[in-house]
């Protein structure tokens, strides 16, 4: 057995009462955070509210934050934390309204999920031999990662774009979107890409990579969003400023080699909105932040980049396929960092980032 | 001296030239000999990576190939986004012989030397946060920052995804704090130091980006920061240049000076103003530095 101490943010939405309470219990050494919460509820305080079901990382019910980072409680072993003497702070997930204690209201999550039309819209004919429609494993592998999602919300909890704009479809919904865009049997690819490219879709992702870092199932939602972006551009759905921005980058590498920044704002936003940006832009020019570079700074041998671009288009690894080709190599990597790197040691300066503690 | 291939990236080549000059001036004092790469292009940022991933991989493979051709085993970066792009491409090429063979055939077809997969991509931050670089930094920073209160701002793509970056705990990073303290400054702590500044969508979704940008600026000021330091010129651009838009939209006055990492260390190392080029900033850091007689 081991002793585990926890601080839990208790909350009651009906009264608005909020309090950080500390608990200490005995638990078996192999206990997960979920096991510890069960012990607290059984032995110390029966009013503690949290969700759980499968206890084996498959139902997606037990998403919550430990020290400000979203985790599945049933996947998080407590032994090392307890041994270190650190008392972790447990709180409800972010970006969703709290109902009570560690329970959030998942309705906004499910609404976005539903908006993606998360079901197959078959786009195939039954083969001539009268048998079932067959897809190769290789083609289904395109959506292998996205299909792993268990709808736990850990990614949504930390999404920086959603924090700023709650309307953003967000990592879970968009990853689900690619699960169908990338499915060879689905017939609504173009309609989906049009819909997902809306104001709160693909191009609102701010690439903070919190979703990839937090997802307990290796879905890598940010990568799924990149696949959607690549498919949208491949299918000519590129009216969004985000897509235009990307196309201008490509043009720059083929001409000067370096980003032609001065022209980037007009290319992305169009002339009308650029005039509004004029005052702001003039100030940048004054400080050489967006100076008109004459002659433009041109990288040596930029023709090589131009020819590579031509080759890439000839070989036709376009759209999401370009992302998927790297997955085999990237799947060999694991999240983490070099041990012993932190010269301060646990608990010393700099203080850990504990947003719930600082409120 | 450690000889490294030096990849500036677009910003340090163009709108953030002050990052290039301060890096060049600082390098020898922290034991780095920079070999400039002439024929390289932009890494494509998150944009080409997202829209045309196969082209992204070729562009970055080309940069890695030219880095390898210098004979150095390290490619030094000074931008978060370049670091993520190049490290990710590097892992793709190292970890898949078939993929590397196809990309190399294409590189050779256009006259670029093939890439063997032996280069390591490292940000300047990591070179001076530990090991020999850190020891030299402590000696070089003899002028000291004299208690200057510095807010570290990491930005996203030097921390996450940790399976590609892998240097420090993405939730409890320490490298910038350690450098600030070695320079005699005081590192202040605030939650948004590991969050996003909004730069990637600052043009396409300005309002959403501003909702992110305001967090580090406000929190750092509240925590008493004199200046902020960042290892990423894109973070620098949004924090420094778009701060005026934050002021216009909120009616508040922020005036928080933002320093590039090489500039902050440069001040402590007594590097000339002519190399640090503070006059290129929108929010002038000089008053804050002069006030403290740094
Ligand atoms: S990378 Fe995009 S989707 Fe993922 S958490 Fe950040 S903003 Fe949200
Ligand atoms: S993508 Fe990952 S973190 Fe997000 S809901 Fe699905 S399983 Fe959970
Ligand atoms: S990330 Fe940016 S600054 Fe760095 S090279 Fe690429 S485009 Fe340029
Ligand atoms: S913090 Fe800002 S510029 Fe920096 S990596 Fe995130 S988005 Fe990029
Ligand atoms: S209880 Fe089902 S995922 Fe944790």
**Is B278 a residue whose pLDDT tops 50?**
yes
Looking at the structure, tell me whether residues B108 and B237 fall in a common domain: no
List, for chain A, all residue ranges whose pLDDT scores fall below the cut of 70.
Answer: 260-279, 281-282, 288-297, 339-359
Residue A132: per-residue pLDDT: 87
Assess if residue A231 is contained within a domain: yes
A75 and A117 both lie in a single domain: no
Question: Would residue A151 count as lying in a domain?
Answer: yes
Does one domain contain both B27 and B130? no
Same domain, yes or no: A166 and A129: yes
Position A58 in a domain = yes
| CATH code, domain with B268 | 3.40.50.11810
Residue A188 shares a structural domain with residue A246: yes
Arithmetic mean of pLDDT, B100-113: 98
Out of B112, B178, B212, name the one closest to residue A343 (CB). Answer: B178
Kindly determine whether residue B42 and residue A245, on different chains, have CB atoms separated by under 8 Å.
no
> Of the residues A89, A104, A119, which one is the last residue of a structural domain?
A104
Residue A336 confidence (pLDDT): 81
Task: Count structural domains, chain A.
Answer: 2
Contact flag A305-B52 (C-beta cutoff 8 Å): no
Q: Are residues B69 and B100 in the same domain?
A: yes
Residues A97 and A119 both lie in one domain: no
Q: Which of B13, B41, B165 sits opposite A253 (nearest CB)?
A: B41
The Cα of B41 is separated from the nearest Cα of chain A by a number of Å equal to: 4
Same domain, A65 and A135: no
Distance A118 CA to ligand 2 centre (A): 15
Nearest ligand 1 atom, CA A225: 3
Total count of domains within chain B: 2
Model pLDDT for residues A169-191, shown as the tens digit of each residue:
999 999 999 999 999 999 999 99
Q: What is the pLDDT of residues A62-78, one digit of tens each?
A: 999 999 999 999 999 99
Q: Measured between CB atoms, which of B38, B94, B245 is closest to A300? A: B38
Residues 6+ apart with CB under 8 A from A122: A185, A186, A187
Check pocket membership of B16 for ligand 4, CB cut-off 6 A. no
Closest-CA residue, ligand 1 atom 6, reads A208
Residues B279 and B185 in one domain: yes
Domain of A25: which CATH number? 3.10.20.30
The reported pLDDT for the residue numbered A352 is: 43
- B199 CA from centroid of ligand 4 (Å): 6
Task: Determine the pLDDT at residue A280.
Answer: 72
Contacts of B88 in chain A (CB under 8 A): 326, 330
Q: Do residues A28 and A85 both lie within one domain?
A: yes
- In this structure, the residue with its CA closest to atom 4 of ligand 1 is A211
Q: Specify whether A197 is located in the same domain as A323.
A: yes
Task: Indicate whether B87 and B131 sit together in one domain.
Answer: no
Q: Quick one: how far is CA B260 from the chain centroid?
A: 8
Asked if residue A219 is part of any domain, the answer here is yes
Q: Which residues of B touch A207 (CB under 8 A)?
A: 46, 156-157, 196, 200
| Chain B CA closest to residue A296 | B14
* Interface-testing mutation among B53, B192, B222, with chain A (most A C-beta atoms within 10 A): B53
Question: Which CATH number covers residue B95?
Answer: 1.20.1050.140
Give the nearest partner residue to B241 out of A258, A284, A334, using CB atoms: A284
* C-beta atoms of A335 and B209 within 8 A: no
Same domain flag for A150 and A190: yes
**CB half-sphere exposure, B43, CA atoms < 13 A:** 29
Last residue of a domain, one of B91, B109, B124: B124
Structure tokens at A41: 């509820």
Nearest Cα of chain A lies from the Cα of B288 at a distance, in angstroms, of 19
B165 lines ligand 4 (CB under 6 A): no
Indicate whether B13 and B100 sit together in one domain.
yes
On whether residue A224 sits in a domain, the answer given is yes
Of B124, B144, B170, the residue that ends a domain is B124
| Ligand with smallest separation from the Cα of B237 | 4
**Chain B hits for A348, Cβ within 8 Å:** none
User: In this structure, are B163 and B275 located in the same domain?
Assistant: yes
Q: What is the Å distance from ligand 1's center to A306 Cα?
A: 31
Quick one: A92 and A120 in the same domain? no
- Is pLDDT of B147 > 70? yes
Contact B201 A205 (CB under 8 A): yes
Asked if A326 and B57 come within 8 Å (Cβ–Cβ), the reply is yes
- For residue A342, the model assigns a pLDDT of 66
pLDDT tens digits along A274-316: 556 666 766 777 776 654 444 456 788 889 999 999 999 999 9
Minimum-distance ligand to the CA of A60?
5
Indicate if A116 and A154 belong to the same structural domain.
yes
Q: Which residues line ligand 3 (CB under 6 A)?
A: A 259; B 9-11, 42-43, 45, 79, 81-82
Q: Which domain holds residue B155?
A: 125-293
Model pLDDT, residue A267: 58
**Assembly ipTM:** 0.96
Give the distance (Å) from ligand 1 centre to CA of residue A276. Answer: 29
Segment B30-42 mean pLDDT: 94
Domain final residue, candidates B124, B144, B169: B124
- Based on the fold, state whether residues B101 and B141 are members of the same structural domain: no
Q: Is residue A347 part of a domain?
A: no
Sort out which chain A residues have CB atoms less than 8 A from B107's CB and list them: 308
pLDDT in tens, B73-87: 999 999 999 999 999
Same domain, B117 and B141: no
> Within this chain, do residues B92 and B131 fall inside the same structural domain, yes or no?
no
Q: Are residues B82 and B139 in the same domain?
A: no
B215-255 residue pLDDT tens: 999 999 999 999 999 999 999 999 999 999 999 999 999 99
Same domain, A78 and A129: no
Q: Do both B50 and B177 map to the same domain? A: no
Point out the residue among B52, B211, B279 whose CB comes nearest to the CB of A322.
Answer: B52
The CATH number of whichever domain residue A317 belongs to comes to: 1.10.1060.10
Whether A71 and A32 map to the same domain: the answer is yes
Q: Is A229 in the pocket of ligand 1 (CB under 6 A)?
A: no
Residue-number span of the structural domain to which A15 is assigned: 2-104
CB B41 within 8 Å of CB A253: yes
3-state per-residue secondary structure call for chain B: CEEEEEECHHHHHCCCHHHHHHHHHHHHHHCEEEEECCCCCCCCHHHHHHHCHHHHHHHHHHHHHHHHHCCCCEEEECCHHHHHHHHHHHHHHHCCHHHHHHHHHHHHHCCCCCCCCCCEEEEHHHHHHCHHHHHHHHHHCCCCCCCCEEEECCCHHHCCCHHHHCCCCCCCCCHHHHHHHHCCCEECCCHHHHCCCCHHHCCCCHHHHHHHHHHHHHHHHHCCCCEEEECCHHHHHHHHHCHHHHHHHHCCCCCCCEEEHHHHHHHHCCCCHHHHCHHHCCCCCHHHHHHCCC
In a domain? residue A349: no
Reported as a pLDDT band with limits 50, 70 and 90, residue B291 is: confident
Contact B191 A355 (CB under 8 A): yes
């Amino acid at each position: 057995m081991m002793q585990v101490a926890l601080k839990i943010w208790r909350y009651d939405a009906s009264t608005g009462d909020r309090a950080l309470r500390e608990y200490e219990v005995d638990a078996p050494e192999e206990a997960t955070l979920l096991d510890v919460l069960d012990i607290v509820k059984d032995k110390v305080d029966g009013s503690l509210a949290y969700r759980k079901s499968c206890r084996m990382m498959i139902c997606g019910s037990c998403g919550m934050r430990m020290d400000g980072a979203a985790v599945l409680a049933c996947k998080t072993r407590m032994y090392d934390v307890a041994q270190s003497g650190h008392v972790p702070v447990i709180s409800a997930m972010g970006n969703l309204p709290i109902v009570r204690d560690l329970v959030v209201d998942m309705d906004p999550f499910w609404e976005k999920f539903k908006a993606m039309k998360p079901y197959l819209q078959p786009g195939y004919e039954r083969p001539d031999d009268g048998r079932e429609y067959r897809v190769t494993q290789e083609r289904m592998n395109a959506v292998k990662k996205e299909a792993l999602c268990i709808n736990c919300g850990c990614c949504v909890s930390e999404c920086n774009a959603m924090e700023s704009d709650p309307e953003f479809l967000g990592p879970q919904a968009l990853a689900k979107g690619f699960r169908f865009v990338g499915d060879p049997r689905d017939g609504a690819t173009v309609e989906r890409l049009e819909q997902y490219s809306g104001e709160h879709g693909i191009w609102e992702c701010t690439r903070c990579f919190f979703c990839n870092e937090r997802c307990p199932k290796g879905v890598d939602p940010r990568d799924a969003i990149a696949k959607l972006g690549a498919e949208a551009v491949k299918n000519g759905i590129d009216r969004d400023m985000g897509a235009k921005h990307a196309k201008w980058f490509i043009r720059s590498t083929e001409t000067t080699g370096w980003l032609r920044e001065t022209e980037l704002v007009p290319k992305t936003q169009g002339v009308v909105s650029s005039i509004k940006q004029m005052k702001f832009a003039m100030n940048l020019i004054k400080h050489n932040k967006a100076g008109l570079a004459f002659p433009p700074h041109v990288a040596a041998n930029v023709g090589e980049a131009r020819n590579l671009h031509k080759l890439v288009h000839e070989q036709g690894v376009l759209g999401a396929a370009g992302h998927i080709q790297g997955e085999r190599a990237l799947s060999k990597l694991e999240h983490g960092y070099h041990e012993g790197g932190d010269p301060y040691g646990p608990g010393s300066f700099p203080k850990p980032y504990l947003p719930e503690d600082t409120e | 001296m450690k000889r490294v291939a030096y990849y500036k990236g677009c910003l340090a080549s163009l709108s953030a030239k002050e990052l290039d000059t301060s890096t060049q001036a600082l390098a020898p004092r922290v034991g780095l000999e920079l070999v400039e790469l002439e024929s390289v292009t932009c890494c494509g940022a998150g944009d080409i990576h997202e829209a045309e991933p196969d082209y992204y991989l070729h562009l970055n493979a080309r940069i890695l190939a030219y880095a390898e051709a210098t004979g150095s085993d390290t490619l030094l970066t000074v931008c978060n986004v370049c670091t993520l792009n190049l490290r990710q491409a590097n892992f793709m090429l190292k970890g898949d012989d078939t993929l590397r063979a196809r990309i190399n055939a294409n590189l050779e077809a256009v006259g670029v030397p093939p890439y063997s997969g032996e280069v390591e991509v490292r940000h300047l931050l990591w070179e001076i946060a530990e090991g020999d670089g850190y020891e030299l930094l402590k000696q070089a920073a003899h002028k000291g920052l004299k208690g200057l209160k510095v807010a570290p701002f990491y930005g996203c793509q030097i921390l996450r995804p940790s399976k590609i970056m892998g240097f420090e705990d993405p939730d409890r990073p320490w490298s910038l704090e350690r450098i600030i303290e070695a320079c005699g400054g005081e590192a202040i702590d605030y939650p948004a130091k590991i969050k996003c500044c909004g730069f990637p969508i600052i043009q396409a979704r300005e309002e959403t980006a501003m909702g992110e940008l305001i967090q580090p600026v406000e929190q750092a000021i509240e925590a008493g920061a004199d200046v902020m330091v960042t290892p990423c010129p894109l973070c620098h651009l949004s924090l420094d240049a778009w701060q005026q838009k934050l002021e216009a939209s909120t009616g508040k006055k922020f005036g928080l000076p933002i320093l590039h990492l090489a500039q902050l260390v440069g001040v402590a190392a007594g590097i000339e103003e002519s190399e640090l080029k503070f006059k290129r900033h929108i929010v002038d850091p000089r008053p804050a530095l002069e006030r403290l007689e740094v």
